[in-house]
Amino acid sequence: MEPVKPVPEHRAAEPLTEYVQRVNRRIRAFDHRHPLVWDLLLTGFWVLAALIDATGGGWRNVAHDPSVPEGLVLVLSLGLSVPVLWRRSHPRAALLTTLPAALVSAWSGAALQSALLQLLLVHHIALPLPLRNLWWAVALAIAPSCVTVTRYGDSAGSWNQQVGSQLVSIGVAALIGITVRARRDHTSVLEDRARRLETERDQQIRLAAAAERARIAREMHDIIGHNLSVITGLADGGRYAAAKSPDRAAQALDAIGTTSRQALGELRRLLDVLRDDDENGTVPAPELAPQPALTDLDHLLDGVRRAGLPVRTTIKGEPALPEGRQLTVYRVIQEALTNTLKHAGSDATAYIELSYKTGGAVTLTVTDTGPATTLPSPVLSDGRGLPGMRERTSLYGGTLEAGPRPAPEQGWRVHLHLPEESPQ
């Protein structure tokens, strides 16, 4: 016997419960789009059933008085079934409309089975309306049973049989309506909670994107601002050296090319994270490179010196700092020297004093000898420069001070202090 081949996963039989739920969702969606169509179909079914019962004589099997005229039975059947059309839009009015036909059916002894459609109306009254509406609905639905027992006595059954069974039926119909309403309310609460969570998630995504844009803007400012300042200094020096010392001018051009390529490389690595998907729908892996650290400080200072700004340094202690703190110190030094290149003049000099302490604490002071008034106020409030330095510093609970040096000294002073790392 040949082995049975496994059924492919995409052709596997659909579970019955999932099939029923899928069909139910489609029916509900159609009903939501076209409520009148569904109401007409359901009402037409019950009207047809009532007419078949009335014209076929089936009502005589349970009637207390089989001699009721067929014309009256036909009218009563329509009076009990047609109002079902308004069961959802006006359930109370529909129940009141069926009441005369139900009372006449009970009084005449026809005892039409279509009177049970009042239970459907009670269900729809309990579904959307407050529970206080059920009391009078129960009273109206139980009235025909009371009329039947009162008029026909023992032949129609005892009060317990007639009224009790009708109360149980009404209670079941109302309980189903209450259960469906509670389920709908619970589903509505869950959907509202899901929408709020989705909104909060979107807000968090937007906040994270804004924070990332701000971080990238700071990095781009530091990279572009510093390297352009160095290039500007080298270009100015090369222009003056071109007439007297062509070799010095060539060195300046070489330094400009090196600095430009370095800036382009850093920008390319930074902007790789913003690239769109490629043609295959996948995100290309960005070129990975570490962020600048204090080990790169000598390279930074060499570029500044080539741009024409003399820089002296004094370093105390061992630089045992985490990468984040190293980047903060590096960027503060870079921004301070960039501002000096821009605003301090060609005769200025810079001095860096860096002190490492235990526990990750660090103190940095950068001073220059340029005029104290050469740093314009917009630099302090443009959202980049010094404000970006303060944002970096605040991430580690540190402080940053920037301002003119006290008289009689001239120039600008930037002072950074990062406290010890808090224990985990």
- 167-197, pLDDT tens digit by residue? 888 888 888 888 888 888 888 888 888 888 8
In a domain, 35, yes or no: yes
Residue where a domain terminates, one of 110, 133, 157: 157
Q: What is the pLDDT of residues 332-356, one digit of tens each?
A: 888 888 888 777 777 888 999 999 8
Residue where a domain terminates, one of 157, 174, 189: 157
Highest mean pLDDT among 25-34, 298-307, 309-318, 382-391: 309-318
In a domain, 294, yes or no: no
Q: Quote the pLDDT of residue 374.
A: 46
In a domain, 151, yes or no: yes
| pLDDT for residue 58 is more than 70 | yes
Residue where a domain terminates, one of 157, 191, 213: 157
Q: Quote the pLDDT of residue 7.
A: 47
Instruction: Share the mean pLDDT of the chain.
Output: 78
| pLDDT for residue 365 is more than 90 | yes
State the Cα–Cα distance between residues 297 and 293, nearest whole angstrom.
7
Question: In sequence order, what DSSP letters do the residues of 295-361 get, joined into one string?
Answer: GGHHHHHHHHHHTT--EEEEEES-----HHHHHHHHHHHHHHHHHHHHHS-TT--EEEEEEE-GGG-
Total domains in the fold of the chain: 2
Q: What is the mean pLDDT of residues 127-141?
A: 79
Strands 399-404 and 412-418: antiparallel
More confident residue, 327 or 217: 327
In a domain, 117, yes or no: yes
Ranges of H-type helices in 245-296: 246-271
Answer for the pair 111, 63: CB distance below 8 angstroms, yes or no.
Answer: yes
In a domain, 284, yes or no: no
Which residues constitute the domain of residue 80? 19-157
Band of residue 395 on the pLDDT scale cut at 50, 70, 90: confident
pTM beyond 0.75: no
CATH number of the domain residue 352 falls in: 3.30.565.10
Strands 362-368 and 412-418: antiparallel
In a domain, 118, yes or no: yes
Percentage of residues in the chain with pLDDT exceeding 70? Answer: 71
In whole angstroms, how far apart are CA 424 and each of 325, 343, 357, 421? 16, 42, 19, 9
Strand order in the sheet with 399-404: 311-316, 350-356, 362-368, 412-418, 399-404
| pLDDT for residue 224 is more than 80 | no
| pLDDT for residue 5 is more than 80 | no
Band of residue 377 on the pLDDT scale cut at 50, 70, 90: very low
Residue 413, helix vs strand vs coil: strand
Q: Quote the pLDDT of residue 154.
A: 62
In a domain, 123, yes or no: yes
In a domain, 4, yes or no: no
State the Cα–Cα distance between residues 387 and 402, nearest whole angstrom.
10
